[in-house]
Chains A and B, each alone.
Chain A
Amino acid sequence: MLLVLFAIRREQEELAKRVTFIVTLIPLLIAVFLFINYDRSDSGHQFEENMMWIKAFNIHYHVGIDGLSVTLVLLTALLGPICVLASWKIEKGIKAYLALFLLLETGMIGFFCALDMFLFYVFFELTLLPMYFLIGVWGGPRREYAAIKFFLYTLFGSVLMLIAMIAVYLKGDTFDIPTLIELAKTPGHALAERTFQIWAFLGFFIGFAVKVPIFPFHTWLPDAHVEAPTAISVILAGILLKMGTYGLVRVNFAMLPEGMDFFCNGEGRWGNSLAILGFINIVYGSLCALAQTDFKKLVAYSSIGHMGFVLIGLAARNESGLTGAILQMFNHGVISAMLFLLVGVVYDRAHHREINGFGGLGSKMPIYTGITTLAFMASLGLPGLSGFVGEALSLLGAYSKFKVLTILSTAGIVIGAAYFLWTLQRVFLGELNPKYEAITEINGREIATLVPLGILTIVLGIWPSIAIDMFREAVSILPLVQ
C-alpha cells in the first residue's frame, strides 16, 4: 500500500488522498469481518499465524487475536479512514504524510495482534518513527520540541521494556507470549518466582506507563497533542495511549501476576501503588484540565484523567474492574477521537484554540454545538452514553478493593463535569463574539468523520454488551482476584 503511494507522483495530491482513503477502508472491512466471525465463546486466540522467524532466539512471527486484541483492532481500523478524512486539508507533502500514516496504522494493528514478544516490541517501536515525523514536520509552532520529547520519552520507556524483555527471555527461554503466560503460572519455574516478577513488572510498567501516560511520566502528552495536526492527535489519543494499557493487561497482568499482586494487593508498602497512580491520574489530570485555556490541551489533560480510570479498574484485578478498564479503553478511544476532531473543526476556522477567545458560537454553528455537547457529555460520563459504562464498571470493581481511593476518585468525575460544562459555556453559549460573525458551520466531510463515532457512543451507552461480549471470555482466563 505504501508502494502504491510512491507510484503516485507528487503533484497528484487529490488522487493520493482518495487512494489512501480507500486503502484504509480495507482494514476496516477486515475488522468488520472479524467482528462478525469472531467466536465469542472462545477464550483463546483465533485467526492465528505462526512462522519461524529468527531461529537462534526462537523468535516466531506469531500473530493472533483474542477478545482484548480484537476490540482494539476494531478501534484502530475504524479510526484509520476517519483520520484520513480528517487530514484532507493538509497542504504540503501530503503523499509523505499519508505514507507515514499508513506505516503507523500497520504498526498499531500489528502491535495488537502480536503474540511473540520480539514482534510485540518491534511493532511498539515501529509506531514511534512515523509519529516523530508526523508531529515534527506537520505540527504546530513548537513541533520540533514536542516531537523530540515524545520520541525520546517513549523510547526511554521502551528501552527499559527491552531490558525486562531480555531478562524474561533468559528465564523463560522463549519469546512466545502464550507460552510465557503459561510458564509464569507454573509454580517452581524461574519465571514464576516472585522477586523476579516484581523487577520485570517494574521494567515493563515504566515502559507502558510512559505511553498510557501515567503520572509522573505524562509530561510529553500535552505538548505532543497540542503540536500535532488534528488527525494525528486523534490517533495519538485514540490508539497510541491504548497501546500502553493493552501492554499493561497483556504483559504486566497476564504474564507477571505475582508482580502485579505485589503492587495491587492492598497490603504492604507498595500494595496500593497502581491504585494510587490511577487516582492521581484521575484527579490530577482533571484538575489540570480545569486550569487550561487552550482547548486542545484541555482535552489532552482530560485524556490523562480518563486513562486513570483504566488504571484503577486494572488495579482492582476483578472481573468488574477489568471489564470496565477494557471497555473504557475502547470508549475513550472513540470519545477522545471525537473531541480532537471537534477541536480541529474550530481551529481550522479560527486558527487559534483559546477557550476564552470564543463565545456564543452556538448561534452560528448549531450542528457543531450539538455534536460537541454529545461528545462532552459522553466524556464526563453521562449515563446513557458510553463513557459512563466504562467508568462505572471500573469504579465498581475498584471499590471492592480500594474503598477510600475509589471514593476519592469520583471527585474526578465531578471535576470533569466542571471543566466540560464551563468550556461549553465559554465557547458556545452566551454573547456571540463579534470576531466570529462570519464563522462557517461544520461541513459534510467533518460530519462524516464524527457521525460514526457519535453513533457508537450512543449505542454502546445503551447496549454495552455488544462490546463486552467480545472480550468477556478473554477476561475470564486472566488471573483475576475476586
Chain B
Amino acid sequence: MLPGRNVELYGGLLAVDGFGLFFKVFFLAIGIGIIAIALEYGKARLQHRGEFYGLLLFSILGMNLMAMSRELLTAYIALELLSFSLYVLVAYGLREARSNEAGIKYIIIGALSSAVMLYGLSNIYAALGTTYFSGIAAALSSPATDNPVLWVGLALLIVGLGFKLSAVPFHMWAPDAYEGAPLPVTAYLAIGSKAAAFALTLRLLAEAVAPAGDRWADWQLVIAVLSAVTMLVGNLVALAQSNLKRLMAYSSIGHVGYTLAGIAVLGDDFALAAKAVIFYLVVYAITNLIVFAGLASYYNSTGKDNIADLAGLADRQPFTAAVLAIGLFSLAGLPIFAGFTAKFYLFAAVADGGFLWLAGVAIFSSLVSLYYYLQVLRQIYIEPAAPESGTEGDAAAEHGGGHHDAEPEQDSLPVPMLPRPSITLSATMGVGVLAVIWLGIYPAPLLAVIEFASSAILPMG
C-alpha cells in the first residue's frame, strides 16, 4: 500500500489512492475466489473455458477502474466494461435454455439502465458544465446551480446505479439472471458486480454530492426510503422461494438494502458510515463466497439446485453442510460470525447518523431473513436424506412433516454419501470460514485497513 500518496492519472480521470487500492485488492481477491469455484464446475459443464476466464479478467479490470474513477464518463465506461462481460458470462451455459433466457433479460434491462444513466450524466453535464467529481461538488455547493435539469440528472443517475445494484424497484432482472446463470457466474454477480457498483456509488456520493451540505440532506431521505423498500421486498419475497439461486438473489437484494442504508447516512462530517459500508461489503463478499462455494460443491456432485434437494446434506457431505450453516448464519447476522459484527457496525452507524427508524427496519428485516435461511438449514440438518431412487413423492413427504415414525425403513438404508468437494473448493471454504469467524470476533485489523481506505474519499476519517 502507498500510505498517503494520492496520485492522479490521465489528468484527474483516475485516482490511485487508498480507496482505489483497497478495492483493487478486494476485487482481485474476489476474482480468485470465483475462479476457485469455477474450476471444477467449468471442466464439467462449460465450453470455451478460455474465453470464460478472459471475460472474467476483463470484468475485474472494469471493476478496478470503477473504483478508481473520479469522473463520470470514465466511471460509465468502466461500468459498461463490467456489464458487457457479465452479459456474456450470464449466458455462458450455451446449451441451457435458462441461461440464454437469463442472458437476454439481463442484456435488455442492463442496456436500458445504462442508457438511462447516460442520459442522467448528460443532464448533469448540461447543468453543471463538468463531469469531474470534484467539479460537481464545487458546483453543487454554490447556491446558483438550482436547476431542474440537474435534479433530473441526479435522479436518473441514481436510477441507473439502482439497476446495477438491483435495488428495489429496479431489481426485476436479478432473480432470473441469478437463477439462469451458471453457478460461478451467479456468485460473481452477487459478490463482484455489487461490490463494484457500491464502490462507485460510495466514491461518487462521498466526493461529488455529500460535500454539498443540505442539498445532500434531501437526497439522503430518498436513498433511505429506497434502502428500506429494498430490504423489505428482498427479504419478504425470499420467503416464498424454492430455488436456491433465486433465494440467494433475493437475499442479496436484501443485503443491498442494508448497504444502501449505510450509504444514506454518508456525510462530510460522518465518515463512520463509509467504513461501515466497506466493512459490510467485505464481510458480505466473504460470506457469500463460502455459501456459493458450498452450493457449488453440492451442485458439482448432484446437479440439483432446489432447496428441497438439499435434504440430509449433513450426513452426505458434512463439511459442505457445516460451511453452509456457518455462511447462512453469518448472513442472517448471528453473533460470533462476521455477519453480526458487520450488521451491528452498519446499523449503529445508521442510527448514529440520525436514521434510527431505518436501523429499526433493517434489524427487523434481518429477523425475517433468518427464517428463510433456517428453511435451508432445516433441509440440510433436520430432514432425512432421500434415497437415491427417491422420487418427487419422497421429497414431498419429507417436506410435509419429517415424522420419524413414518419412515422407519429409511433408517436402515445406507446414507448415499456424496463425494468430498475438490481441493480448491475445500480450501476456499476453509479459509472463508476461518475469516468469517475471525472477523466476527476480532475485526480490528481489517477495520484499520478500511480506515485507510475510507479516509481517502472522506477526509474527516
Q: Footprint of B on A, CB under 8 Å? A: 53-57, 118, 121-123, 125-126, 128-129, 132-133, 136-137, 141, 143-144, 147-148, 151-152, 155-156, 159, 162-163, 166-167, 169-170
What are 25 A-B residue pairs whose CB atoms fall within 8 Å in the complex? A53-B442, A54-B443, A54-B447, A55-B447, A56-B275, A123-B335, A129-B329, A132-B374, A136-B381, A137-B381, A137-B382, A141-B405, A143-B382, A147-B382, A148-B378, A152-B370, A152-B374, A155-B367, A155-B370, A156-B367, A159-B366, A163-B359, A166-B359, A167-B351, A170-B352
Contact B363–A159 (Cβ < 8 Å): yes
Contact B344–A144 (Cβ < 8 Å): no
In the complex, what residue of chain A is closest to B371 when comparing beta carbons? A152
Question: Do A57 and B381 form a contact, CB below 8 Å, given A122-B335, A141-B405, A155-B370?
Answer: no
Contact A144–B272 (Cβ < 8 Å): no
Q: How far is the CA of A118 from the CA of B367 in the complex (A)?
A: 18
Query: Is B444's beta carbon under 8 Å from chain A?
Result: yes
Which residue in A54, A141, A151 is a CB contact (below 8 Å) of B404?
A: A141
Q: How far is the CA of A57 from the CA of B347 in the complex (A)?
A: 12
Contact A118–B444 (Cβ < 8 Å): no
Which residue in A122, A133, A162 is a CB contact (below 8 Å) of B381?
A: A133
Residues of A within 8 A of B359 (CB): 163, 166
Q: How far is the CA of A118 from the CA of B378 in the complex (A)?
A: 29
Contact bitstring B366-399, A, C-beta under 8 A = 1, else 0: 1100110010001001100000000000000000
In the complex, what residue of chain A is closest to B360 when comparing beta carbons? A163
In the complex, what residue of chain B is closest to A133 when comparing beta carbons? B381
Contact bitstring B427-452, A, C-beta under 8 A = 1, else 0: 00000000000000011100100000
Q: How far is the CA of A144 from the CA of B443 in the complex (A)?
A: 34
CB distance from A472 to the nearest CB of B (A): 33
In the complex, what residue of chain B is closest to A135 when comparing beta carbons? B382
Query: Is B27's beta carbon under 8 Å from chain A?
Result: no
Q: How far is the CA of A141 from the CA of B341 in the complex (A)?
A: 35
Contact A141–B367 (Cβ < 8 Å): no
CB distance from A166 to the nearest CB of B (A): 5
Contact A56–B363 (Cβ < 8 Å): no
Q: How far is the CA of A72 from the CA of B14 in the complex (A)?
A: 60
Query: Taking chain B's interface residues, is the majority helix, strand, or loop, or is none over half, making it mixed?
Result: helix
CB distance from A261 to the nearest CB of B (A): 25
Query: Is B340's beta carbon under 8 Å from chain A?
Result: yes
Query: Is B270's beta carbon under 8 Å from chain A?
Result: no
Q: How far is the CA of A427 from the CA of B164 in the complex (A)?
A: 67
Contact B336–A126 (Cβ < 8 Å): yes
Residues of A within 8 A of B334 (CB): 125, 128-129
Contact A125–B340 (Cβ < 8 Å): yes
In the complex, what residue of chain A is closest to B374 when comparing beta carbons? A148
Q: How far is the CA of A56 from the CA of B374 in the complex (A)?
A: 32
Query: Is B356's beta carbon under 8 Å from chain A?
Result: yes
Which range contains the number of B residues in contact with the other chain?
A: 35 or more
CB distance from A328 to the nearest CB of B (A): 29
Residues of B within 8 A of A155 (CB): 367, 370
Query: Is B45's beta carbon under 8 Å from chain A?
Result: no
CB distance from B346 to the nearest CB of A (A): 11
CB distance from B291 to the nearest CB of A (A): 17
Contact A144–B329 (Cβ < 8 Å): no
In the complex, what residue of chain A is closest to B275 when comparing beta carbons? A56
Query: Is B151's beta carbon under 8 Å from chain A?
Result: no
CB distance from A56 to the nearest CB of B (A): 7
Question: Do A144 and B336 form a contact, CB below 8 Å, given A136-B378, A151-B370, A155-B367?
Answer: no
Contact A56–B405 (Cβ < 8 Å): no
Q: How far is the CA of A167 from the CA of B348 in the complex (A)?
A: 9
CB distance from A199 to the nearest CB of B (A): 11
Residues of A within 8 A of B382 (CB): 136-137, 143-144, 147
Residues of B within 8 A of A141 (CB): 403-405
Which residue in A55, A126, A133, A170 is a CB contact (below 8 Å) of B351?
A: A170
Q: How far is the CA of A57 from the CA of B344 in the complex (A)?
A: 10
In B329-345, the 8 Å CB interface with A consists of 329, 334-336, 340-341, 344-345
CB distance from A153 to the nearest CB of B (A): 10
Contact A159–B367 (Cβ < 8 Å): yes
Most buried by A among B341, B344, B443, B444: B344
Query: Is B402's beta carbon under 8 Å from chain A?
Result: yes
Residues of B within 8 A of A56 (CB): 272, 275, 345, 447
In the complex, what residue of chain A is closest to B448 when comparing beta carbons? A55
Interface pairs A-B: 6 shortest CB-CB: A122-B335, A125-B335, A159-B367, A166-B351, A159-B363, A136-B382
Q: How far is the CA of A143 from the CA of B442 in the complex (A)?
A: 35
CB distance from B10 to the nearest CB of A (A): 35
Contact A152–B367 (Cβ < 8 Å): yes
Residues of B within 8 A of A167 (CB): 351, 356
Q: How far is the CA of A54 from the CA of B374 in the complex (A)?
A: 29
Residues of A within 8 A of B405 (CB): 141
Which residue in A125, A147, A166 is a CB contact (below 8 Å) of B348?
A: A166
CB distance from B422 to the nearest CB of A (A): 22
Most buried by A among B370, B442, B447: B370
Q: How far is the CA of A133 from the CA of B347 in the complex (A)?
A: 28
Contact B444–A54 (Cβ < 8 Å): yes
CB distance from A234 to the nearest CB of B (A): 22
Contact B363–A162 (Cβ < 8 Å): yes
Residues of A within 8 A of B371 (CB): 148, 152
Contact A166–B347 (Cβ < 8 Å): yes
Contact A122–B340 (Cβ < 8 Å): yes
Given A133-B381, A159-B364, A159-B366; 18 other pairs, CB 8 A cutoff:
A56-B447, A125-B335, A125-B340, A126-B336, A136-B381, A136-B382, A137-B382, A151-B374, A152-B370, A152-B371, A155-B367, A156-B367, A163-B360, A166-B347, A166-B348, A166-B351, A167-B351, A169-B348
Residues of A within 8 A of B352 (CB): 170
Residues of A within 8 A of B351 (CB): 166-167, 170
Residues of A within 8 A of B443 (CB): 54
Contact A144–B378 (Cβ < 8 Å): yes
CB distance from B172 to the nearest CB of A (A): 29
Q: How far is the CA of A234 from the CA of B345 in the complex (A)?
A: 35
CB distance from A36 to the nearest CB of B (A): 32
Residues of A within 8 A of B347 (CB): 162, 166
In the complex, what residue of chain B is closest to A129 when comparing beta carbons? B334
Q: How far is the CA of A54 from the CA of B351 in the complex (A)?
A: 18
Q: How far is the CA of A122 from the CA of B345 in the complex (A)?
A: 13
